[in-house]
Amino acid sequence: MRVSLVELVLVLLVVPLSFAHDLWLIPPTKSEPDQQLRILAHSGMDFPKSEHAPDPAKFARRLIINPDGKEAALEPAGTEGLSGLLAFRPQKSGVYVVAVETTPKLITLDADKFNSYLVSDGLPHIYLLRAKEKTLDQPGRERYSKSPKALLRVGKEAAGDASKAVGLPLEIVPLKDPFTLKPGDTLPVRVLFQNKPLADANLGWAHPDEGEMPRGTVRTDGKGEALIPIGKTGLMTIRLTHMTRPKAKDYEWESFWTTLTWMVPEKAKE
């Protein structure tokens, strides 16, 4: 194991740290009832900059949870520049939850890229497993899918439940309304994988224009819970990658990606 840890450090030192792209849903800065709203789908490594425009029409699932708890459709609205567009018209004030799921895809990364990705995305236990099995020189055959989520507050009323889980394969669920928080507070969250709490998940958080690495990271406890510090107002995201090993015919590994994005308000809701 000592040799494996040395190899892990070498990967961090000599190989670029990230080859993967997060998918974020970016809510509008201001939202009012009975106005057409656009949610931006961005794909990239430096939050919230997008490197290409995802096509929302190809997402396997698109949904909205209204303040009354009912589910509605989130409509694809094409692309604009490097942004994918999703649209809906909220009828009432309150907190809305929007989410999408992508169709799983297969990818094969060469050994160095796969090893670097494992370390940079908070999956060193998979790297160490490959080191123990002496397979660090083998490519990574992987199936991956992404399930980002965003919260937005429409109008001034406090209706709605920001803590409602929506059944994504991998999901970050706030345990407190984030629109009541201000810089200096912490947001308790729970991570769910296949609707069950996920322990030891490596959460990262970021604000815009801070580079490709997260501002900070924390691992969930035995209940799948962790505390995320609120650093400043404006756009903020929390991200996570979780990997399993199904050893299927066409792929050995399966990764699940998720993000949770919202606007930290200038003035916290009462």
Closest listed residue to residue 239, CA positions, set 89, 122, 70: 122
Q: What is the model's pLDDT at position 249?
A: 93
The packing angle between helices 2-14 and 124-132, to 10°, is 130
Instruction: Give mean pLDDT in consecutive 10-residue pieces for the chain, a chain of 270 residues.
Output: 46 46 94 94 96 96 95 94 96 95 96 91 91 95 97 89 96 97 97 97 94 89 98 96 95 97 83
Spell 200-236 as b/e; 16+ CB within 10 A means b: ebbbbbbbeeeeeebeeebebeeebbbebebbeeebb
- Return the pLDDT at 193: 98
pLDDT of residue 270: 57
What pLDDT was estimated at residue 20? 65
Nearest to 108 by CA among 251, 264, 260, 256: 251
Provide the pLDDT for residue 77.
97
Which domains are delineated in the chain? 22-106+139-167+245-263 (2.60.40)
